[in-house]
């Protein structure tokens, strides 16, 4: 369940946190009322994840790999939820055209200027490895159980 399109396409735009919560929580509650099916919240914002988990979602699918919102890992850990950590090359290469659509991802928080400069020259496989190492370290530091992490 998601309340914001993050596909880099014309018409996509940032959705404010409260609006995103208003979009997803009623859907999650309605599903939860009828079924015990696993529910995934697709968001990179910790406040949205927290509201969705409280409403009955079971896992968080974070397209920023826990790098877009520094509180996300703690929200997941505190809820004992599962998390899908996605590799997001735009997070590590913010000059990419796709990054211009969603500048609110927390650029500059997850990586230093030097790291971002180094990432420019890394082959994609090495960039992915570095990104996942950083994301997994953030997950571990927050206390997310290893069995609750999906890549």
pTM: 0.87
Domains and CATH numbers, the chain: 17-150 (3.20.20.20)
DSSP conformational letter for 64: T
pLDDT at 93: 73
Position of tokens 């914002």?
Answer: 45
Edge to edge, the sheet with strand 59-62 lists: 40-42, 59-62, 82-85, 149-150
* Interacting residues of 67 by C-beta distance below 8 A, sequence separation 6+: 88, 91, 105, 106, 109, 110, 111, 131, 134, 135, 138
pLDDT at 107: 45
pLDDT digits (tens, 9 = 90+) for 54-75: 999 999 999 889 988 989 999 9
pLDDT digits (tens, 9 = 90+) for 129-142: 999 999 999 999 99
């Amino acid at each position: 369940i998601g309340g914001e399109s993050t596909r880099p396409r014309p018409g996509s735009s940032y959705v404010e946190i409260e609006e995103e919560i208003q979009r997803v929580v009623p859907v999650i509650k309605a599903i939860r009322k009828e079924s015990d099916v696993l529910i995934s919240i697709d968001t990179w914002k910790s406040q949205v994840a927290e509201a969705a988990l409280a409403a009955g979602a079971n896992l968080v699918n974070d397209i920023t790999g826990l790098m877009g919102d520094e509180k996300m890992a703690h929200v997941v850990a505190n809820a004992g939820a599962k998390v899908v950590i996605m590799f997001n090359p735009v997070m590590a290469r913010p000059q990419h055209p796709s990054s211009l659509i969603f500048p609110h991802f927390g650029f500059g928080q997850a990586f230093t200027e030097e790291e971002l400069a180094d990432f420019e020259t890394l082959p994609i496989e090495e960039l992915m490895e570095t990104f996942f190492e950083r994301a997994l370290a953030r997950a571990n530091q927050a206390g997310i159980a290893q069995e609750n992490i999906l890549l």
